[in-house]
Amino acid sequence: AGPVESRTEAAMSELVPESRQKPVVPMKPMGINANLLGYIGIDTIIEQMRKKTMKTGFDFNIMVVGQSGLGKSTLVNTLFKSQVSRKSSGWNREEKIPKTVEIKAIGHVIEEGGVKMKLTVIDTPGFGDQINNENCWEPIEKYINEQYEKFLKEEVNIARKKRIPDTRVHCCLYFISPTGHSLRPLDLEFMKHLSKVVNIIPVIAKADTMTLEEKTEFKQRVRKELEVNGIEFYPQKEFDEDLEDKTENDKIRQESMPFAVVGSDKEYQVNGKRVLGRKTPWGIIEVENLTHCEFALLRDFVIRTHLQDLKEVTHNIHYETYRAKRLNDNGGLPPMTVETEENHESNL
């Protein structure tokens, strides 16, 4: 019996596994520690936002205002390195000078590095070209307010669009004639009326017609005149969000504004390189050379550093001011037209 029992015990010991020790459960940390919690992935939010915005694309609407012959179309074409603004090939006898200011908007889709932008260039032929230029800024102010009204009507609809088309003017380049003396009364009146409804960036056109000393002196005079007349141009002081923005924008306001620029869409060979420029009997004026003009500063300011801010100031400041005024004037809603009544009934 003894040997048989020892054999069965041995067989049982082979079948029954040995009892293992339970794993030690770590105690809960008393305080939250980043090292204990590890990587969460919050930093991917930026990438998620980038993908979303890349799919939807961007809108940017730029208006150019100034007398004929100051190179408005050429400068915009140079700014975006493509033919985005129509340029007249020369004056035709059959064509009449417009009696009033006309508004011409041309839309384009520009793509660079996978980023799509719907660019709209709004030209204002006829501005300042008449003998009597009284109230010639009114059609421009009316157009800007019409775009705010269009956006507001879309916004207050019961069944509004997921993405409202944005036709609001984000930036207005105002071209100052390079007289070298002072601003004309027309320049002051325009900027005084329009600075409250749109972001105005003053630009001295055809800066190659002035010497370096004249250019510096003229810029200082323009800044002083704008200050004396209480005209605020973009970037406005009260919209600086923090100290970093204030330091950067103060430098632009005190040194760069107004930008003295030269525009050209023709290329020339200079020291073995192709450059945009204007050919003169004494040499080539290079558009993107900072020692020749401030075009590169204007391009960096409008596109590379402040484009999104221009859009935000338009939406949060100028559009909100217009919206608040309209809703107060009309008891909370824009006046109902036949079209909006029909839409309202169909929605119900």
Question: Looking at residue 3, what is its pLDDT?
Answer: 57
Helices (H), the chain: 2-15, 34-37, 45-56, 72-80, 138-156, 185-194, 212-228, 243-251, 295-299, 307-313, 320-329, 338-347
Question: Looking at residue 217, what is its pLDDT?
Answer: 92
Identity at 285, one-letter amino acid code: I
Per-residue pLDDT for the chain (348 aa), expressed as one digit of tens each?
555 555 555 555 555 555 556 555 555 555 555 555 667 788 888 888 888 888 888 899 999 998 888 888 888 888 887 777 665 544 454 555 566 678 888 888 888 888 888 889 998 887 887 777 888 888 999 999 999 999 999 888 888 888 888 999 999 999 999 887 888 888 999 999 999 999 999 999 988 888 889 999 999 999 999 999 999 889 888 887 778 888 888 888 888 889 999 888 788 888 888 888 888 888 888 888 888 888 889 999 998 889 999 999 999 999 999 999 998 887 655 555 545 555 545 544
Angstrom distance (rounded) from CA 208 to CA 282:
12
- Other C-beta atoms within 10 Å of 84: how many? 19
List the Cα angle 87/260/212 in 5-degree steps. 130
Question: Looking at residue 24, what is its pLDDT?
Answer: 58
The β-bridge partners of 285 are 278
Question: Looking at residue 312, what is its pLDDT?
Answer: 92
Exposed, middle or buried by CB within 10 Å (0-12, 13-18, 19+), for 290? exposed
The alpha carbon torsion through 331, 334, 340, 343 (nearest 10 deg) reads -70
Domains in the chain, ordered, with CATH? Answer: 56-87+97-262+293-330 (3.40.50.300)
The β-bridge partners of 174 are 65, 202
